[in-house]
């Protein structure tokens, strides 16, 4: 028993094999991991060998608000790691308010690419000038997750592709159309692509056989989604008014959205809806979107008959639709939901539609008719939520007149 | 617990006051288990019987093993054809000479053991000189539990507890690591040597939780770390990483 007692007082943690200790330390915040340097002389530089570094605002004392000084602290961390680090660095994440020195950042990224980085994440820091990203990043064989902010991306002529890249997130990036196209097309296992505020690319050409999720929130003049057979979710917001240029004769809706045969979820915002509306919108798409389950229109200018046509066209082409969400733009003074002109729509039943949410209605007659129509044509509808801006909510007396096809439907009418 | 070859009688009984349809599964030795129809339909065999409507008096010969997991309506229905297959076993031998016979599939939760078996070097007895019997038995317990939950080897194994909202394994895991520090570190080293990712992550996270939020002195006390810095050296280290100590 005395033997047992002795055994329980042994320091077993300090002598753990390094990869095991790393597995432990990556679960504690970086600040605490660095504090282990004080535990004993053995521990002094253990933290510098971590495989994952997450530098965020929690690393800094609350009184340190100067962004340049914050960078100095980060630099200290980086230098210590660079001098002592033995093994691979799997993940580096920088998500702190600071002002990076481009030279330092450049050198550090270079170091990381050398260390076989798998996840490199640079989130919004305070930087107005863009820094040039070392092209070595794009030859990291193990890179699986790349999130970049505020850089200029140029690919070297020897760029072969990123064979392990699964997720790519570019925000406030300066990249040319061709470079972007090449980058996307040469990532064979890419699943998620997010593009926010991309400069210098007027046309987004996206072609990738594995891509499943696409989010765009940027300025652009045109977009081309080609060869994206697995694309399941699309979320696009156009930040500027579309230019009415004659991009061939085809309707944008048909050209861009009409070919997404496997799409499950469509989120279309404001100006992008106007973009899609250009050149005669057909009553129905040439091919049905048989897998579309969710349609979410945000900031929709339903005061434009063209935009309404886009909505109706998609509705007529989505037999499996389960969820319909419409947020009317607050800029609308009236809405133009003249759906009765659409022959396709009038005879249509939404056999799978379960949830409808419409916000920003102005309780005009057209809208009431539209809601009535939806109710009458949706036999399995479970809930419909209507939020009216200003004015009157649709009074209960009117709602009671509606004859819903679904027995158990719950009608919620609110005023915002 | 019924024997390895039983016949099951399925009857349909609709309760008057509830809308949830129930079915009664009856084992060959006469014990009845009343379950929600939806629960019973986790078994494709039973599902087809119910759908076909041929269940009022049909007795089936299946190899069925039924166990009542707890006093609530939790039922484990497994369909394992024991007559036709021989579940392969391996013997693991601990450093102190004790032998443990386990299903090969359970043993293969350890990548190390998996490679040994696949390389054909097994001979059905695998010596593990780095793992004592006490630790090995715990490791085997972990592997068994997690293998059952994954339900990989059997085609239609389903297990469910009716009122549980949390993942049952999370609770089990939490209990599993409530051990003294020595045992915990032994488990870590065993998981590392045997290359069992789930166990390694679980035990390492447990140690991490023991470190989080503690001052350096508290950490030293918890893990019996001796501070061998001179006061000057300690001051130097504090200065070096000043930002972390503020």
Interface of B to A at Cβ within 8 Å reads 180-182, 185, 188-189, 192, 200-201, 204-205, 207-209, 211-213, 216, 219-220, 223-229, 233-234, 237-238, 240-241, 243-246
Chain-chain contact of A20 with B240 (C-beta, under 8 angstroms): no
Beta bridge partners of B102: B90
Write the DSSP string, A10-40. Answer: S--STTS-HHHHHHHHTTS-HHHHHHGGGT-
Q: Does A5 touch chain B (CB under 8 A)?
A: no
Q: Quick check: B151 and B157 in contact, CB under 8 A? A: yes
Residue B179 has pLDDT above 50, yes or no: yes
Closest chain A residue to the Cα of B217, Cα to Cα: A39
Q: What is the pLDDT of residue A143?
A: 94
Closest chain A residue to the Cα of B204, Cα to Cα: A24
Query: B18: pLDDT confidence band, cut at 50, 70 and 90?
Result: very low
What are the chain A neighbours of B207 within 8 Å (beta carbons)? 13, 24
- Residue (of A287, A250, A289, A249) closest to A268 by Cα position: A289
What was the ipTM of the complex prediction? 0.72
Mutate to test the interface with A, among B193, B219, B243 (most CBs of A within 10 A): B243
Q: Quick check: B194 and B112 in contact, CB under 8 A? A: yes
Query: B156: pLDDT confidence band, cut at 50, 70 and 90?
Result: very low
Closest chain A residue to the Cα of B201, Cα to Cα: A23
Chain-chain contact of A35 with B245 (C-beta, under 8 angstroms): yes
- Which of A367-376, B67-76, B180-189 is most confident? B180-189
Return d(Cα A308, Cα A323) in angstroms, integer: 18
Q: Quick check: B33 and B122 in contact, CB under 8 A? A: no
- A225 membership: H or E segment, kind and range: strand A222-225
Write the DSSP string, B71-107. Answer: SSS-EEEEE--TTT----EEEEE-TTS-EEEEEHHHH
Query: B230: pLDDT confidence band, cut at 50, 70 and 90?
Result: very high
Pairing of strands B89-93, A119-122: unpaired
Beta bridge partners of A297: A268, A326
| 3-class SS of residue B217 | helix
Chain-chain contact of A27 with B204 (C-beta, under 8 angstroms): yes
Return d(Cα A265, Cα A276) in angstroms, integer: 17
Residues in chain B, total: 246
Å from B89 to nearest chain A CA? 30
Query: B239: pLDDT confidence band, cut at 50, 70 and 90?
Result: very high
| 3-class SS of residue A345 | helix
**Planar angle of CA A409, A410, A413, nearest 5 degrees:** 135
- Interface A:B, Cβ pairs < 8 A: 102
Q: What is the DSSP letter of A87?
A: S
Residue B53 has pLDDT above 50, yes or no: yes
Return d(Cα A328, Cα B182) in angstroms, integer: 63
> In whole angstroms, what separates CA A176 from the centre of its chain?
20
Residue-level pLDDT, tens digit, chain A, 416 residues: 444 444 568 899 999 999 899 999 999 999 999 999 999 999 999 999 999 999 988 888 878 888 888 889 899 899 898 888 878 899 999 988 888 888 888 889 889 988 889 999 988 777 667 788 888 899 888 999 999 998 899 998 889 999 999 999 999 999 999 999 999 999 999 999 999 999 877 899 999 999 999 999 999 999 999 899 999 999 999 998 887 766 567 899 999 998 899 999 999 998 999 999 988 899 899 999 999 999 999 999 888 888 999 999 999 999 999 999 999 888 887 777 777 777 888 788 999 999 999 988 777 777 788 888 888 899 999 998 888 876 667 666 667 677 778 777 888 888 76
Average pLDDT over residues B80-98: 72
Q: What is the DSSP letter of A386?
A: E
Q: Quick check: A32 and A43 in contact, CB under 8 A? A: no
Average pLDDT over residues B115-138: 86
- Residue (of B46, B51, B50, B87) closest to B64 by Cα position: B46
> In whole angstroms, what separates CA A333 from the centre of its chain?
31
- Tell which A residues from 33 to 52 touch B, by Cβ distance under 8 Å: 34-41, 43-44
Listed in sequence order, the DSSP H helices in chain B are: 37-40, 44-52, 104-107, 111-118, 133-150, 168-176, 181-194, 197-211, 216-223, 231-240, 242-245
Chain-chain contact of A8 with B243 (C-beta, under 8 angstroms): no
Q: In this complex, which of B226, B238, B243 lies closest to A73 when CB atoms are compared?
A: B243
Return d(Cα B92, Cα B111) in angstroms, integer: 14
What are the chain B neighbours of A6 within 8 Å (beta carbons)? none
Q: What is the DSSP letter of A378?
A: -
What are the chain B neighbours of A10 within 8 Å (beta carbons)? 182, 224
Does the model's pTM come out above 0.90?
no
- Residue (of B29, B58, B33, B28) closest to B45 by Cα position: B58
Return d(Cα B136, Cα B142) in angstroms, integer: 10
Q: What is the pLDDT of residue A27?
A: 93
């Amino acid at each position: 028993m005395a033997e047992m007692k002795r055994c329980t007082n042994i320091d077993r943690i300090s002598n753990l094999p390094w990869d095991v200790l790393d597995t432990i330390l990556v679960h504690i915040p970086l600040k605490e991991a660095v504090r282990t340097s004080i535990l004993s002389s053995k521990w002094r530089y253990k933290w510098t060998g971590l495989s994952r570094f997450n530098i965020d605002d929690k690393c800094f004392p609350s009184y340190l608000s100067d962004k340049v000084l914050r960078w100095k602290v980060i630099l200290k961390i980086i230098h210590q790691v660079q001098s002592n680090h033995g093994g691979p660095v799997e993940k580096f994440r920088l998500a702190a308010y600071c002002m990076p020195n481009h030279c330092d950042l450049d050198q550090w990224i270079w170091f990381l690419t050398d260390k076989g980085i798998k996840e490199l994440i640079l989130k919004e820091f305070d930087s107005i000038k863009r820094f040039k990203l070392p092209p070595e990043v794009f030859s990291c064989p193990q890179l699986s997750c790349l999130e970049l902010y505020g850089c200029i991306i140029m690919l070297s002529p020897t760029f072969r592709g990123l064979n392990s890249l699964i997720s790519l997130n570019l925000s406030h990036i300066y990249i040319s159309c061709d470079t972007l196209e090449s980058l996307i097309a040469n990532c064979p296992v890419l699943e998620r692509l997010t593009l926010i505020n991309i400069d210098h690319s007027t046309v987004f050409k996206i072609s990738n056989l594995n891509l499943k999720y696409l989010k765009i929130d940027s300025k652009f003049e045109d977009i081309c989604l080609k060869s994206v057979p697995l694309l399941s979710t699309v979320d696009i917001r156009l930040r500027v008014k579309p230019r009415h240029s004659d991009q061939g004769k085809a309707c944008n809706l048909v050209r861009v959205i009409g070919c997404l045969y496997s799409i499950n979820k469509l989120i279309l915002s404001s100006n992008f809806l106007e973009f899609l509306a250009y050149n005669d919108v057909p009553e129905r798409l040439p091919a049905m979107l048989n897998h579309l389950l969710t349609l979410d229109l945000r900031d929709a200018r339903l005061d434009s008959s063209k935009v309404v046509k886009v909505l109706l066209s998609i509705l007529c082409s989505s037999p499996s639709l389960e969820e319909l969400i419409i947020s009317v733009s607050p800029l609308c003074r009236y809405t133009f939901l003249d759906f009765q002109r659409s022959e396709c729509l009038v005879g249509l039943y939404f056999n799978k539609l379960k949830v409808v949410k419409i916000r920003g209605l102005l309780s005009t007659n057209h809208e009431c008719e539209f809601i009535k129509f939806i109710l009458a044509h949706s036999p399995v509808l479970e809930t419909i939520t209507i939020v009216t801006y200003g004015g009157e909510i649709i009074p209960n007396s009117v709602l009671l007149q509606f004859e819903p096809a679904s027995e158990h439907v719950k009608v919620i009418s609110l005023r915002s | 617990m019924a024997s390895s070859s039983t016949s099951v009688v399925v009857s349909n009984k609709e309760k008057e006051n509830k809308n949830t349809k129930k079915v009664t599964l009856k084992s060959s030795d006469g014990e009845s288990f009343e379950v929600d129809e939806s629960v019973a339909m986790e078994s494709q065999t039973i599902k087809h019987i119910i759908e076909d409507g041929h269940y009022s008096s049909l007795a089936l010969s299946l190899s069925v093993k039924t166990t009542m997991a707890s006093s609530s309506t939790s039922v484990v229905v497994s369909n394992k054809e024991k007559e036709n297959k021989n579940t392969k076993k391996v013997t693991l031998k601990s450093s102190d000479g004790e032998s443990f016979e386990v299903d090969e599939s359970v043993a293969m939760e350890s990548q190390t053991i998996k490679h040994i078996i696949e390389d054909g070097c097994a001979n059905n007895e695998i010596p593990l000189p780095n793992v004592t019997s006490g630790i090995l038995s715990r490791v085997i317990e972990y592997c068994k539990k997690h293998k059952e939950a994954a339900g990989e080897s059997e085609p239609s194994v389903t297990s469910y507890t009716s009122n549980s909202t949390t993942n049952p394994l999370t609770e089990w895991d939490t209990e599993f690591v409530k051990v003294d520090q020595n045992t915990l570190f032994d488990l870590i080293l065993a998981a590392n040597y045997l290359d069992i990712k789930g166990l390694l992550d679980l035990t390492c996270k447990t140690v991490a939780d023991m470190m989080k939020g503690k001052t350096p002195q508290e950490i030293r006390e918890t893990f019996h770390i001796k501070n061998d810095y001179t006061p000057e050296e300690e001051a130097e280290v504090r200065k070096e990483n000043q930002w972390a100590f503020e």
